[in-house]
Amino acid sequence: MITGQGITKTFRQRGGVLGAREVRALRGVDFAVGRGGAVSFIGESGCGKTTLGRIIAGLEGHDSGEITVDGVAMSSLRPRARRPYFRRIQLIHQDPYSALNPTRTVYQALLAPLALRARQTGRPASWVDGRAGELLDLVGLDPDYVLPRYPHQLSGGMRQRVVIARALTVDPEMLVADEAVSMIDVSLRLGILALLRDLRERLGVSVLFITHDVATARYIGDDGELYVIYRGQVVERGPVETIISAPVHPYTQALLSAIPVLHGLERPGAQPVAPTGTLEEDKPDAGCLFARRCPFATARCAEEVPVLGRTGDIPQEHACFHPEARSVVAVPAGRA
């Protein structure tokens, strides 16, 4: 179980054309990912989802808030003592082309972490070769073909599977997959998503999936939770299927409305929501962060800050004063 409470992070830039400025990447985010669970962070670029993923993977510090791994608060530990905890959380990068060393074969890429693992667990060195084969089998690759090859000899989908196999060498509890399929050919994406879903079931590994493409979030598990992040704040949170079929926050609705409709196969949703203005225009920090782009904003939204929580009989949590479920996503053309 990995949790976070009130995570904040501010990036400060010095100099540059615009002078010193601050970017509030995260404004107090809570999350919890249980064993074998699936959590997806969605939002526009710059919303803070990647920063949050890096903080959770231990690659980036945060300013305030607490991360716990299996009940142990990370702030209570010295940096060195945190390492074995963060080793349980492995990051899968967006780009499988740059995540693998081009001068090393797949075997060499897997050897080092496996040898380390063998030492840690008191296994003989001979265990390594067998384990490398097992892991490649697990991610759907033929070890005999893949092991002696260099990354450039593999397709993007195969490379991403190798990256996942490498992450599994240290027996992680959680994989943090940051846009893990966006650079994979369309016809092969589902294979990677299904692999992540499969690893959850077979190994009990949990998956934190970071993406701007909401549709892909469904495919790592329909039991998953969705976090919609806007400018460093979670604005809606709940079961994936609930949020897709009945989103209540206007930002979530705008995100879902923006997904292309496959005309001929689908019809647009009945109540699409278009945001007014662009991300850059929504600067002021008072009130609701989305108010200036929100077509439903009222005077209250400009003054008060909505807090994430449940209201009425809406099943998911949201941070909106005027939550209203709207059907925004496309429906199959055949259905009435």
Partner 1 sequence: MPSTPSDTREDSPPDAPGRTAPGVRIGGLSVVYRTPAGELPAVRGIDLELPPGTITGVVGESGSGKSTLALSLLNAVQPPGRISAGSVQIDGLGDVVTLRGEELRRARGRHVGYVFQAAQNSLNPLKPVGRQLLDLGRSHGVADLRALVREARDLLGRMGLDGARVLDSHQHELSGGMRQRVGIMFALVLNAHLVVLDEPTTALDMITQATILRIIREVHEERGLTTLVITHDLGVVAEVADRLAVMYGGRVVEQGPTRQVLGDPLHPYTRGLIRAIPRLVGDIGEATALPGRPPTLATIPAAGCVFRERCPLRMDLCATQEPPTVAHGGRLVACHAVEGGIREERAGAGNHGGQDGAGGPDGRDGAEDPDGRAVAAGAREEQA
Contact criterion met (CB below 8 Å) for 138 and 165: yes
**Does the protein bind partner 1 through residue 317 (CB under 8 A)?**
no
Point out which residues pair with 206 in neighbouring strands.
174
User: Alpha-carbon torsion 317, 320, 322, 324, what sign?
Assistant: negative
- Least distance (Å) between residue 195 CB and partner 1: 6
**Does the protein bind partner 1 through residue 279 (CB under 8 A)?**
yes
Site for partner 1 in 52-81 (CB under 8 A): none
Say whether 63 sits in a helix, a strand or coil: coil
**Phi-psi map region of 335: left, alpha, beta (phi>0 left; psi -120 to 50 alpha):** beta
- Least distance (Å) between residue 158 CB and partner 1: 5
Pick one of 158, 234, 288, 297: the residue that binds partner 1 (CB under 8 A): 158
Which one-letter DSSP state was computed for residue 260? P
Contact code string over 234-273 relative to partner 1, x by CB under 8 A: ----------xx--------xxxxxxxxxxxx--------
C-alpha–C-alpha distance, residues 154 and 284, integer Å: 48
**Does the protein bind partner 1 through residue 11 (CB under 8 A)?**
no
Q: Which is nearer to partner 1, 168 or 214 (CB)?
A: 214
- Least distance (Å) between residue 189 CB and partner 1: 7
**Does the protein bind partner 1 through residue 122 (CB under 8 A)?**
no
DSSP 71-113: TEEGGGS-HHHHHHHHTTEEEE-S-TTTSS-TTS-HHHHHHHH
Task: Name the one range near partner 1 by CB under 8 A: 64-72, 109-117, 182-190, 231-239.
Answer: 182-190
Q: How many CB atoms lie within 10 A of CB 45?
A: 9
- Least distance (Å) between residue 65 CB and partner 1: 26
Pick one of 25, 114, 175, 329: the residue that binds partner 1 (CB under 8 A): 329
**Total chain residues near partner 1 (CB under 8 A):** 58
Q: Which is nearer to partner 1, 139 or 301 (CB)?
A: 139
**Does the protein bind partner 1 through residue 194 (CB under 8 A)?**
yes
- Least distance (Å) between residue 240 CB and partner 1: 10
Task: Name the one range near partner 1 by CB under 8 A: 70-78, 169-177, 181-189, 318-326.
Answer: 181-189
Task: Name the one range near partner 1 by CB under 8 A: 57-65, 118-126, 170-178, 209-217.
Answer: 209-217
Which among 102, 28, 93, 92 is positioned nearest to 65, based on CA atoms?
28
**Does the protein bind partner 1 through residue 190 (CB under 8 A)?**
yes
- Least distance (Å) between residue 235 CB and partner 1: 14
Q: Which is nearer to partner 1, 2 or 207 (CB)?
A: 207
**Does the protein bind partner 1 through residue 141 (CB under 8 A)?**
yes
Burial state string for 210-219 with b = 16 or more CB within 10 A and e = fewer than 16: bbbebebbbb
Q: Which is nearer to partner 1, 103 or 278 (CB)?
A: 278
Q: Which residues contact 170 (CB under 8 A, 6 or more apart)?
A: 87, 88, 90, 113, 116, 117
DSSP 164-233: HHHHHTT--SEEEEESTTTTS-HHHHHHHHHHHHHHHHHH--EEEEEES-HHHHHTT-TT-EEEEEETTE
**Does the protein bind partner 1 through residue 125 (CB under 8 A)?**
no
C-alpha–C-alpha distance, residues 265 and 135, integer Å: 39
Binding site for partner 1 (CB under 8 A): 17, 44-45, 140-142, 145-146, 155-158, 161, 185-195, 197-198, 212-216, 218-219, 222, 244-245, 254-265, 274-275, 278-280, 329-333
